[in-house]
Each structure stands twice: as C-alpha cells, then as structure tokens.
Amino acid sequence: MSHFSRRLALLADPAHQPLLGQCLHGIERECLRVDPHGQLALTPHPAALGSALTHPQITTDYSEALLEFITSTARDPRQVLDELEQIHRFAYTGLDDEYLWSASMPGTLPAEADIPVARYGHSNAGQLKHVYRQGLARRYGKAMQCIAGIHYNFSLPEALWQVLQQDCGDPAAPQDFQTRSYIALIRNFRRYSWLLMYLFGASPALDRNFLRQADHRLERLDSQTLYLPHATSLRMSDLGYQNHAQAGLTPCYDSLESYTTSLLKAVSTPWPAYEQIGTRQNGEWIQLNTHILQIENEYYSSIRPKRVTRSGERPLQALRERGIQYVEVRLLDINPELPLGLDIGQARFIDAFLIYCALQDSPLLQGPECSQCSTNFLSVVREGRRPGLLLQRLAGPVSLVDWAHELLEGIRPVARLLDGLQPDGPHQQAVATGQRKIGNPELTPSARQLACLREQSLSFRDYALHCSQQHARFFREPPLDSATLQAFRQKSADSLAGQARIEAADQMPFAQYLAHYQNSLPAS
C-alpha cells in the first residue's frame, strides 16, 4: 500500500473520519474602492467602517482605497462565506456612491504620485504600517500595490496530525511532527498549485493604463485592454509583485528552520539599491530600513506557513518558537463574476486539494525540481489554456491535461472522505466541475472573461465596472437586519476608540519604537 493510500485508509476508519470535519477556514478578501466611473477612489478610508488599525474585520492593505475584509475561522467554509458576505453588506452602508471593484487587476489608476498610501493614525504602530507601505511604493511602484486577491487560511486539526504520527511511529514532539507535516504540504502545494491557477485563475486581461510605459509581451484586445489569449492569471505572472532583490529567496521548504533562516537573513541584510533610497527624505520616513525585506511579510509567496502571533510578537518569532499552526494560500484571483470573488464550490475544491497535498508523499524539492515548480506555475498563469501545453516533471515533459487528470484522480477519494456518507456530495461535485474544466478550457473563469469581452465588445475596464455595479445591487438589497447592522456599527465605534487609546498611550519617539521593533527579531 502506498503512503497516500495508507493514510486515506486510516482516515476512512469510522473512528477517525470525523476529524476531517474539524478543519478550520478563514478568508481575507482585498478589493479597491472606486468612484462611479470605475476610477480609483481618492477619498479617505470611510469613518463609518471604523479604524483600519484596530477593526478586527475591516482594514486596508496598501492603499487607502484598498479595503481588506477578514473573517473569523469556522469549520464550515459556507459559514465563512456567509460572514464575508455580511462584511461586504455592511461596507456598502459606508461607501455612499462608491463601488467595490470586482476584479483583481485595477481599472483606471491616477498618476503614481496621486495613489493614496494607507494611513493608520498617529500612533507608533500606525506609523510603522504607513512607513512600510511607503517603502513598498519606492521598491515596486504604487500601481503594482493596487492588485487585489483572496487569501484562504486553512488548518487541519491537531488530533488528525496525532493520528498520522501514531500510525507512522514518529517519536518527535507532536508540534514538531505537525510543523514538518505542514512543510511537506507546502512542498506539494508548490508542485501542484499550477492546477489551481488553471481552474480558478481569473485575470487574463488588464487595463492598458496599468502598465504605464513598461515593456511587456501582452497583446492588444482593444484600445483600452491588454491580454494574453491563453493566460489564466496575469496577476500571478511576472507582471505582478516582483522584486529582483528577492530573486535568491525562493526557499524550497526543506524545513521550517531553513525557511525562517532565509527570511531572517533577508530582513537583516542591506540591499544596495535600497541603501541609495535611504530611510528618510526631507525629514520624513520613507521606508523602515534598507534591507532586502523591510519585514518578513514583504516576502511574496503563493503560500505561507503561519502561526497566530501574540501581542507585540513578530511572525518569525511565533513560527520559530511554536511551529506552524495553519497555512495561508495567497494565489487566488478575485473572480469578477462572483460577488464575493469566490464561491462555496471553489472553497470545497481547495479543501480537498490541500488535504491531498497533506496526505501525499512529499520528498524534498531537490535538483531541478524546485525550479521546475516555478517554471510550471509561470507557464500556466501565462498560457495555461494553450492546447498541448507541456509541463516539466523529473521524469520528463507531461501534458497539462494528463497531469491534471492524474491529480484529480488522487483528489477524488479525499473529496469522498470529506463528503462522508453523502453520495456524490458537494466536494465530489467540486472535483467533477474541475474535471469538466480540464476537458473544456472554455469553462474556466479566464476563458469566460475573455469570451465576455469579445462577445459584448467590452473593454476590461467596462466589464469590471459592470460587474461591480451588479455586485453593489446584490449587497445593498436586502440590507442587513437591524441587529447585525448595529453590531457592525458598534465594532466600528469600538475600533475608533481603540485607536484613540493606543495613540494616547504612546510615549516613545518613533525612531526608538522602530529600533526596538527591528531588534525584536529572533537570532538566525
């Protein structure tokens, strides 16, 4: 019996199968605020939505206009999506005539200097967040920071890891086994995540304005729209969040130790180009430091190992001291056709996919395989629907279609386990939907989007604005019930009061606060 089959059989045991129902889910969804014409909103973060520094569910990411909605965790992904919908509905009560942009790629952006960087008040914590974003602007440009996405947080229950550990007789401490197992999941995610981009990539086109005067290899769909005919996700291509300083930082996830060591080195090693920029300009802070990464979260990856941090604790500290608690999947495009950017079928497929990655054997990424993972991913985001596309494995080239069918055959029994006694249950239906997309690329979100642009003679900008307007009607009718609305308003009021308390309590000069923050890193 193979490693994978043995683990499947173990979890199919009636004593263990309920453990799969104890997985936890959470979603973070980014979206731009735009004016009635689809142009980036230049207004401040709406006061009705509370403090972006302290609100537990509504904050901002890079720009003052880039909202981020954060759900709590739940075992049922439908419950998470229901909460995300309520957050959207509440947000629309404070947007007046603005819309939430429906796509990952932005519409019309103003000049770089006019894109507003997010502000978080006058506290040291708020200033640190603002200065970090000023640094991002100088390192990557403001336009690139206006790309939005969805982050899917997922964990398997500790009791499940313990069952797997007992079965294999591993003598390690339970947290060490769990951490190694999550690292193995991440390695397999890197091997197979191109499949998610094929099935769910939803950014094959973008507004011509976005690239400014940059060189590119895109084709022209109309006077306002650039695209690639077989692309699935230009957001995740080399047009997106890239950093030459990070080029040597692609860890192959041999262990948590190697991962954290590489990031610790990056957040403490100066980079010549950033040293030329400096940290202050005309007396104002413009970046936190001149290192390869200002902070560990600047490292861009499609999946991150995570641990809930304690007050004042940095992510690398939490990981080093207590190991991995969950993973954050960061590659998901916003599907413009869906009000929330994703739906329950996609969530269920991702669950089955991640559990497959966790249960499947996961040897170290050695030799050429690590670079093959990156090459395969970029091939699929740029030309995943091209007929006959070949990907690379250690055994040699393989067609995307053949490999996708192979993966789906492995994911199918995981879906059956998740569905329990439900014949043809929802997880199996999600896998079957994926199977149909492999056989017919025109069913994928990226193909559907391009077909809509062509058939209706729409620019990307007009298409995304139309979807945004439709979604606004969905979220505004029916309105939230009075109790839910009042609860949200109370959270906003509490967050504003919380920010005021933080600002009133600050006594330390920002330079001293920043130095203390920089020195809080664990030893490499």
10-57 residue pLDDT tens: 999 999 999 999 999 999 999 999 999 999 999 999 999 999 999 999
Q: Using CA atoms, how far apart are residues 4 and 393, in angstroms rounded to an integer?
A: 19
Q: How confident is the model at residue 241 (pLDDT cuts 50, 70, 90)?
A: very low
Tell me: the pLDDT tens digits for 64-82? 999 999 999 999 999 999 9
Residue 391 is predicted with a pLDDT of 98
Give the lowest-confidence range in 209-213, 293-297, 356-360, 465-469: 209-213
User: What is the percentage of the chain residues whose pLDDT exceeds 90?
Assistant: 92
pLDDT (average), residues 137-142: 94
Q: Phi and psi dihedrals of 151, rounded to 5?
A: -110, 130
Residue 240 is predicted with a pLDDT of 46
Tell me: the pLDDT tens digits for 245-294? 777 776 779 999 999 999 999 999 999 999 999 999 999 999 999 999 99
Note if the bond before 478 is cis, omega within 30 degrees: yes
Spatial strand order in the sheet of 205-207: 205-207, 225-227, 219-222
For tokens 């007992």, what's the residue?
Answer: 166
- Is the model's pTM score more than 0.85? yes
pLDDT (average), residues 180-191: 98
Instruction: List alpha helices for 21-141, DSSP H.
Output: 77-92, 124-140
Residue 243 is predicted with a pLDDT of 55
Instruction: Classify residue 172 by burial, with Cβ atoms within 10 Å: 0-12, 13-18, 19+.
Output: exposed
Instruction: List alpha helices for 124-214, DSSP H.
Output: 124-140, 158-168, 174-192, 194-200
pLDDT (average), residues 204-227: 91
Instruction: Classify residue 206 by burial, with Cβ atoms within 10 Å: 0-12, 13-18, 19+.
Output: buried
Residue 4 is predicted with a pLDDT of 97
Nearest to 431 by CA among 340, 337, 360, 353: 353
Which residues lie below 8 Å from residue 352, measured CB to CB, with a gap of 6+? 411, 414, 415, 418, 427, 430, 431
Q: Using CA atoms, how far apart are residues 15 and 30, in angstroms rounded to an integer?
A: 40
Q: Using CA atoms, how far apart are residues 169 and 158, in angstroms rounded to an integer?
A: 16
Q: How far apart are the first and last CA of the chain?
A: 41
Tell me: the pLDDT tens digits for 391-447? 999 999 999 999 999 999 999 999 999 999 677 799 999 999 999 999 999 999 999
Question: To 10 degrees, what angle do helices 482-505 and 124-140 make?
Answer: 100
Q: Which whole-number Å values give the CA distances from 72 to 77, 87, 142, in the listed order?
A: 11, 11, 30
**Helix count and strand count (H, E) for the chain:** 17, 14
For tokens 């690590």, what's the residue?
Answer: 370
Q: How many residues does the chain have?
A: 524
pLDDT (average), residues 365-369: 91
Residue 212 is predicted with a pLDDT of 80
Tell me: the pLDDT tens digits for 452-465? 999 999 999 999 99
pLDDT (average), residues 149-171: 97
SS3 308: coil
Q: What is the mean pLDDT of the chain?
A: 95
Residue 516 is predicted with a pLDDT of 95
Q: How confident is the model at residue 213 (pLDDT cuts 50, 70, 90)?
A: confident
Give the lowest-confidence range in 211-225, 336-350, 440-454: 211-225
Residue 437 is predicted with a pLDDT of 98
The token pair that represents 512 in the structure block = 């001293």
The token pair that represents 424 in the structure block = 């043809």
User: What is the percentage of the chain residues whose pLDDT exceeds 70?
Assistant: 98
Topology (CATH) of 3-518: Creatine Kinase; Chain A, domain 2 (3.30.590)
CB 224 within 8 A of CB 460: yes
109 phi-psi bin (left φ>0, alpha ψ -120 to 50, beta other) = beta
Q: How confident is the model at residue 216 (pLDDT cuts 50, 70, 90)?
A: confident
- 523 pLDDT above the threshold of 60: yes
